[in-house]
Structure 1
Amino acid sequence: MHTDLVAALDIGGTKIAGALVDGHGRILVRAQRPTPARDDGDTVMRAVQEVLAELTASPLWGCATAVGIGSAGPVDASAGTVSPVNVPGWRDFPLVARVRAAAGNLPVELIGDGVAITAAEHWQGAARGHDNALCMVVSTGVGGGLVLGGRLHPGPTGNAGHIGHISVDLDGDLCPCGSHGCVERIASGPNIARRALENGWRPGPDGDTSAAAVAAAARSGDPVAVASFERAAQALAAGIAATATLVEIDIAVIGGGVGKAGDVLFEPLRKALSTYATLSFVRHLTVAPAQMGTDAGLVGAAAAALAKRTDPAAAGV
Structure 2
Amino acid sequence: MHTDLVAALDIGGTKIAGALVDRDGTLVVRAQRPTPARESGERVMEAVNGVLAELAASPRWGEATAVGIGSAGPVDAAGGTVSPVNVPGWRGFPLVERVGDATGGLPVTLVGDGVAITAAEHWLGAARGHDNALCMVVSTGVGGGLVLGGALHPGPSGNAGHIGHISVDLDGDPCPCGARGCVERIASGPNIARRALENGWRPGPDGDASAVAVAAAARAGDPVAVASFERAAQALAAGIAATATLVDVDIAVIGGGVAGAGDLLFAPLRSALRRYATLSFVQQLTVAPAVMGNDAGLVGAAAAALATRTGAGIPARAH
So what's the TM-score if we normalise by structure 2? 0.98
Question: What is residue 195 of structure 1 aligned with on the other side?
Answer: 195
Cα deviation, residue 2, structure 1:
3.5
Where 1:229 maps in the other structure, the secondary structure is helix
Where 2:147 maps in the other structure, the secondary structure is strand
Cα deviation, residue 310, structure 1:
1.8
Question: What is residue 303 of structure 2 aligned with on the other side?
Answer: 303
Where 1:235 maps in the other structure, the secondary structure is helix
Where 1:54 maps in the other structure, the secondary structure is helix
Question: What is residue 53 of structure 2 aligned with on the other side?
Answer: 53
Gaps of 5+ in 2: none
Q: Which amino acid aligns with 1:45?
A: M
Cα deviations by residue, 1:163-202 (Å, 9 ceiling, x for unpaired): 0000000010000000000000000000000000000001
Question: What is residue 98 of structure 1 aligned with on the other side?
Answer: 98
* Contact 1:188 1:258 survives alignment (8 Å): yes
Question: What is residue 291 of structure 1 aligned with on the other side?
Answer: 291
Cα deviation, residue 315, structure 1:
6.2
Would you say 1:268 and 2:264 are equivalent positions? no
Would you say 1:25 and 2:52 are equivalent positions? no
Output the CA distance in 1 between the equivalents of 2:310 and 2:254: 28
Gaps of 5+ in 1: none
Question: What is residue 11 of structure 2 aligned with on the other side?
Answer: 11
Question: What is residue 211 of structure 1 aligned with on the other side?
Answer: 211
Structure 1 residues 63-212: aligned runs within 5 Å: 63-212=63-212
Cα deviations by residue, 1:132-184 (Å, 9 ceiling, x for unpaired): 00000000000000000000000000000000000000010000000000000
| RMSD (CA atoms) | 0.8
Superposition misfits of 4+ residues, deviation over 6 angstroms: none
Q: Percent of aligned positions with the same letter in both sequences?
A: 83
Q: How many residues align?
A: 315
Cα deviations by residue, 1:7-59 (Å, 9 ceiling, x for unpaired): 00000000000000000000000000000000000000000000000111111
Q: Which amino acid aligns with 2:37?
A: A
Where 1:160 maps in the other structure, the secondary structure is coil
Output the CA distance in 2 between the equivalents of 1:253 and 1:260: 13
So what's the TM-score if we normalise by structure 1? 0.98
* Contact 1:115 1:145 survives alignment (8 Å): yes
Q: Which amino acid aligns with 2:78?
A: S
Q: Which amino acid aligns with 1:118?
A: T
Where 2:60 maps in the other structure, the secondary structure is helix
* Contact 1:137 1:256 survives alignment (8 Å): yes
Q: Which amino acid aligns with 1:135?
A: C
* Contact 2:10 2:71 survives alignment (8 Å): yes
* Contact 1:245 1:282 survives alignment (8 Å): yes
Output the CA distance in 2 between the equivalents of 1:299 and 1:4: 15
Cα deviation, residue 316, structure 1:
4.8
* Contact 2:233 2:265 survives alignment (8 Å): yes
Cα deviations by residue, 1:223-249 (Å, 9 ceiling, x for unpaired): 000000000000000000000000000
Where 2:28 maps in the other structure, the secondary structure is strand
* Contact 1:21 1:29 survives alignment (8 Å): yes
Question: What is residue 222 of structure 1 aligned with on the other side?
Answer: 222
* Contact 1:153 1:316 survives alignment (8 Å): no
* Contact 1:117 1:300 survives alignment (8 Å): yes
Output the CA distance in 1 between the equivalents of 2:34 and 2:230: 35
Q: Which amino acid aligns with 1:272?
A: A
* Contact 1:2 1:22 survives alignment (8 Å): no
* Contact 2:150 2:313 survives alignment (8 Å): no
